[in-house]
Amino acid sequence: MQIERIVRDSAPALRAQKRLEAEFAKREAELGKVADQLKRLQDEIEKDALTMPESQRRTKERDFADLSREFQRKQREYREDVNQRRNEELGQVIELANRIIRQIAESEKYDIIFQEAAYANPRIDITDKVIKAMEGKPPAAANDMPGPFTLAQIAIRLGGRIAGDPQTLIRQVGSLERRGPARSPSFPARSTARGSRAPAPRPSCWGPMRSRSRRFPGSSATTLRLFCRVSQLFNPRTLQPEGIHPSASVAPGARLAARVSIGAGCVLGDGVEIGEDSCLYPGVVVYPGCRIGARAIIHSGVVIGADGFGIADDGGQWVKVPQIGGVAIGNDVEIGANTTIDRGAMQDTVIEDGVKLDNQIQIGHNCRVGAHTAMAGCVGVAGSADIGSHCTIGAGAIILGHLSICDHVHVSADTVISHSIRKPGTYTGLFPADDNAAWARNTAVVRHLAKLADRVRELEKRLNGKESGNG
**Residues taking part in catalysis:** 365
Q: How many CB atoms lie within 10 A of CB 217?
A: 21
Q: Which residues contact 397 (CB under 8 A, 6 or more apart)?
A: 375, 376, 379, 380, 411, 412, 413, 414, 415, 416, 417
Do 343 and 323 contact (CB within 8 A), yes or no?
yes
Query: Do residues 173 and 227 lie in contact, with contact meaning Cβ atoms separated by under 8 Å?
Result: yes
Greatest CA span in the chain, whole angstroms? 108
- What is the distance between the terminal CA atoms of the chain, rounded to a whole angstrom? 94
Q: 135-173 burial, b if ≥16 CB within 10 A, otherwise e?
A: eeebbebbbebebebbbebbbbbbbbebbbeeebebebb
Which residues does residue 349 pair with via DSSP β-bridges, in sequence order?
Answer: 327
Cβ-contact 352, 389 below 8 angstroms: yes
Q: Tell me whether the omega of the peptide bond preceding residue 148 falls within 30 degrees of 0, making it cis.
A: yes
For residue 376, count other CB atoms closer than 10 A to its CB. Answer: 19
β-strands 273-274, 291-292 pairing: parallel
